[in-house]
Amino acid sequence: MITKTNPEEFIKNMPKVELHLHLEGAFTIESLFDLINKYGGVSGISNVGSLEEKFQFRDFSHFIETWCWKNDFFREAEDFEYTIYHTMKNLHEQSIVYVEAFYSPWDFAPSGISAPAITEAIIEAVKKAKTDFGICCQLIADISRDVGADSSVERFRQVLPYRNEGIIGIGLGGSEQKFPNELFADVFKEAKKEGLHLVAHAGEAAGPESVWSALEVLEAERIGHGVRAIEDPILMKKLKTDQVPMEICVNSNLKTGIFLSLEKHPVKSFFNEGLNITINSDDPTMFGKTLTDEFIYLHQRDVFSLHDLKTITLNAVNASFLNDEQKKSLGDKVEDYWTRNNV
């Protein structure tokens, strides 16, 4: 029996739900290494270890540079299918049972692969992984602020035909200050009309006003990050009253410098104030922390007890876009783990 005396093992085996993960930042190092070799290799990267070292970032511009560097090895639709299948396997090995994952096919436009081709490859990988490992993943197309607001409706229409094959919503990531939410009101309106779910990164690089507009202009159902809401007491009150789900990614915020230390991060205040928070990994490979690592990190530093992590997992079940019956079944799976382990 796994007990609290071995919390790391307990957390690793705990059924978990991931609501804020970008597939482009969640490849396994091994699968990227295979792609690099497929395209002739890179000098200095002779094994998985040396590739892993490449992902030790000096600063934020080095992070962006490395992000673009690795994207260059995704040159055919089958590269997405291959790597994402392995990502799903990795998530399954962490006992993640349900995922709502972002993908941004327009970031790969320089490779000449179309958004529909990437979408089909990802759907294929996700289906295969479900058959092989039982992990369920639904997709949220990130409209990508930086690609531009003018063509955002057109981008949305490229993925709309796949809504019955695993695309459940749209998201909005990228430069929050340079491309504010208001510019994307039309595409969110159209997505809502088509019955898709709406989420947006807000209150990460930009301040509380971005969370306000994500809620009021975009009508986002969940907020990605939202951590800078801490600067606005009226917004904090609204988030609590409305129980708006917040997709918190602590190590991502620490790595990108939104907060300089865990002590300064508001995750604990959000939880104590009664906000509806979930814990997520954002770009696990890029930031070097899986969802399991994230949970262990917060537990070992006395931010959250094991029981708090159960509450947070059940928050994620309820904040997911599953139907009531599916939520009940997923919630039962979480409860059952705790009952079986007598915790």
204 touching Zn ion, by CB under 5 A: no
Residue 294 contacts Zn ion per CB under 5 A: no
Distance of alpha carbon 61 from alpha carbon 256, whole angstroms:
10
Task: Provide the minimum distance between the beta carbon of 101 and Zn ion in the complex, in angstroms, as a whole number.
Answer: 11
**CA atoms of 24 and 71, how far apart (whole Å):** 8
Distance (Å, whole) CA 222 – CA 198: 7
Asked whether position 282 contacts Zn ion by CB under 5 A, the answer is yes
Look up residue 315 and give its two tokens: 């928050």
CB of 119 to Zn ion, least distance (A): 19
The CB-of-247 to Zn ion minimum distance in angstroms stands at: 8
Within 13 Å and on the Cβ side, how many CA atoms surround 343? 22
CA dist 29 and 56 (Å) reads 13
107 binds Zn ion (CB under 5 A): no
State yes or no: is 81 an active-site residue.
Answer: no
Which of the stretches 64-72, 145-153, 157-165, 279-287 binds Zn ion when contact is defined by CB under 5 A?
279-287
Q: Cβ closer to Zn ion: 28 or 104? A: 104
Please state the closest distance from residue 201 (CB atom) to Zn ion, in A.
Answer: 6
| 81 versus 142: smaller Cβ distance to Zn ion | 142
Upper half-sphere CA count for residue 137 (Cβ side, 13 Å): 33
- Residue 281 is classified by DSSP as -
| Cα–Cα dist 170/199, whole Å | 6
24 binds Zn ion (CB under 5 A): no
Q: What separation in angstroms does the CA of 4 have from each of 7, 11, 302?
A: 5, 9, 14
Q: Which is nearer to Zn ion, 90 or 252 (CB)?
A: 252
With beta carbons less than 8 A apart as the criterion, state whether 172 and 143 touch: yes
Residue whose CB is less far from Zn ion, 18 or 81: 18
What is the amino acid identity at position 58?
Answer: R
Which residue, 124 or 176, is less far from Zn ion as judged by CB?
176
Least Å distance between CB 188 and Zn ion? 17
| Catalytic residue, candidates 18, 204, 247, 294 | 204
Q: Residues in the site for Zn ion, rule: CB under 5 A?
A: 282
Residues involved in catalysis? 204
